[in-house]
Amino acid sequence: GAGVSQSPSNKVTEKGKDVELRCDPISGHTALYWYRQRLGQGLEFLIYFQGNSAPDKSGLPSDRFSAERTGESVSTLTIQRTQQEDSAVYLCASSRGLAGVDTQYFGPGTRLTVL
């Protein structure tokens, strides 16, 4: 079946502009995650959505970052007033939301470059 998809695959923007990144999770997956992967760094957790529960936003690095999810489907990550340090690959993952071992399946990422 179809995996996690993300769009755009690449985004180049100017400092100070807003950007919106999209994630389409695997159908039927109730949990959705956003991670950031900066050059030479490990993946950093940003935010977690599970069903209708309040999201865990503890990983968002500043109030310029926000994310929304429509029901159990599409999610968008918005970065306002982008800065050069926001340049990274933004990865989305989804999972079944199981209580035990709950494998996270990753999309290909959006490569964001802030000039």
Closest distance of CB 19 from another protein, Å: 19
**Which of these segments, 36-44, 60-68, 70-78, 80-88, binds another protein (CB under 8 A)?**
36-44
In the bound state with another protein, the residue whose beta carbon lies nearer, of 87 and 106, is: 106
For 51, residues 6+ apart whose C-beta sits below 8 A from its C-beta are 30, 31, 72, 97
Site for another protein (CB under 8 A): which residue of 21, 33, 82, 86? 33
**Which of these segments, 11-19, 37-45, 65-73, 77-85, binds another protein (CB under 8 A)?**
37-45
**Spatial separation of the C-alpha atoms in residues 40 and 24, rounded to whole Å:** 26
Q: Using CB under 8 A as the criterion, which residues of the chain lie in contact with another protein when the complex forms?
A: 4, 31, 33, 40-45, 48, 50, 56, 59, 91, 93, 95, 101-109
